[in-house]
């Protein structure tokens, strides 16, 4: 399947050896949205989360400390840039690398939080992400071994043999686990209970957009 059928008219290509970056309305839209969100994250302060207090009538204001704020903002901005890279890349291996980086950064963004339930959730998500890095890279390796290339422009013109289909299934497992979407979001949702709205939004945004991009990539490879 070609880019035009999936993402709209081809606006341009950037050829870097056998890695060909391509720009369609679809990839451009995702890329620009991620950069806008990354910019907003870079300039935003965190909210003050108001929580009910047990056995008292008053509320508790939960804030993000300065040191924690700096750490989490740095990781969130990197996560935004990595996600934007995953939207525009034309190379399967680059996509898996960006995916793995996003998984690590998602854990990092909440690991500075001092809430047991949130840390437990991040730990469980971390275990899933670690386990799923094997099928993620394994799938890409199998596709490389059976076709001799990881360039999406070339893969999109090839007929999908059984090994490519097997590799794509493994990659799908890897993407689902690394991004922590269904059926793994049950553990990931707990991570969002922590304050720090600008930082946790990139966790959700990167996961959703990675899935959207993965749909395009799998259709490119398989049909």
Residue 47 interacting with other proteins (CB under 8 A): yes
Report the candidate in 163, 171, 202 with the shortest Cα–Cα distance to residue 79: 202
Contact 167, 142 (CB under 8 A): yes
* Closest separation in Å from C-beta 139 to other proteins: 18
Residue 16 interacting with other proteins (CB under 8 A): no
Q: Tell me how far the alpha carbon of residue 89 is from its chain's centroid.
A: 13
- Binding other proteins (rule: CB under 8 A), the pick from 76, 188, 220, 221 is 188
CA-CA distance, 112 to 119, in Å (whole number)? 9
Residue 45 interacting with other proteins (CB under 8 A): yes
Radius of gyration of the chain (CA): 19
Q: List C-alpha distances in Å: 71 to 22, 39, 132, 204, 206.
A: 33, 16, 26, 18, 18
- Binding other proteins (rule: CB under 8 A), the pick from 44, 71, 124, 149 is 44
Residue 198 interacting with other proteins (CB under 8 A): yes
Beta-bridged to residue 49, according to DSSP, are: 62
- Binding other proteins (rule: CB under 8 A), the pick from 20, 81, 119, 201 is 201
**Residue 181 backbone zone (phi > 0: left; psi -120 to 50: alpha; other: beta):** beta
Beta-bridged to residue 151, according to DSSP, are: 91
Contact 140, 93 (CB under 8 A): yes
Q: Contact region for other proteins (CB under 8 A) — 38-46, 95-103, 134-142, 158-166?
A: 38-46
Residue 211 interacting with other proteins (CB under 8 A): yes
- Binding other proteins (rule: CB under 8 A), the pick from 79, 132, 205, 221 is 205
* Closest separation in Å from C-beta 197 to other proteins: 4
* Closest separation in Å from C-beta 89 to other proteins: 16
Residues that bind other proteins (CB under 8 A): 5-8, 24-26, 29-30, 33, 36-37, 40, 43-52, 61, 181-182, 185-186, 188-189, 192-193, 195, 197-198, 200-201, 204-205, 208-209, 211-212, 215-216, 219, 223
């Amino acid at each position: 399947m070609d880019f035009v059928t999936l993402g709209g008219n081809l606006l341009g290509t950037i050829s870097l050896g056998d890695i060909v970056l391509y720009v369609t309305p679809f990839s451009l839209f995702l890329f620009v949205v991620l950069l806008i969100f990354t910019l907003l994250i870079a300039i935003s302060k965190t909210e003050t989360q108001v929580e009910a207090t047990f056995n008292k009538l008053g509320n508790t204001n939960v804030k993000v400390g300065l040191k924690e704020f700096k750490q989490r903002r740095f990781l969130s901005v990197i996560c935004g840039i990595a996600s934007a890279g995953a939207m525009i890349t034309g190379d399967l291996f680059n996509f898996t690398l960006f995916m793995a980086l996003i998984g690590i950064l998602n854990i990092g963004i909440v690991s500075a939080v001092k809430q047991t339930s949130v840390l437990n959730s991040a730990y469980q998500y971390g275990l899933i992400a670690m386990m799923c890095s094997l099928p993620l890279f394994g799938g890409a390796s199998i596709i490389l071994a059976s076709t001799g290339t990881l360039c999406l422009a070339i893969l999109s013109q090839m007929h999908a043999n059984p090994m490519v289909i097997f590799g794509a299934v493994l990659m799908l497992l890897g993407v689902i686990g690394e991004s922590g979407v269904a059926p793994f979001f049950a553990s990931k949702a707990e991570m969002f209970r922590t304050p720090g709205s600008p930082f946790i939004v990139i966790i959700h945004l990167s996961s959703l957009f990675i899935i959207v991009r993965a749909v395009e990539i799998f259709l490119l490879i398989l049909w």
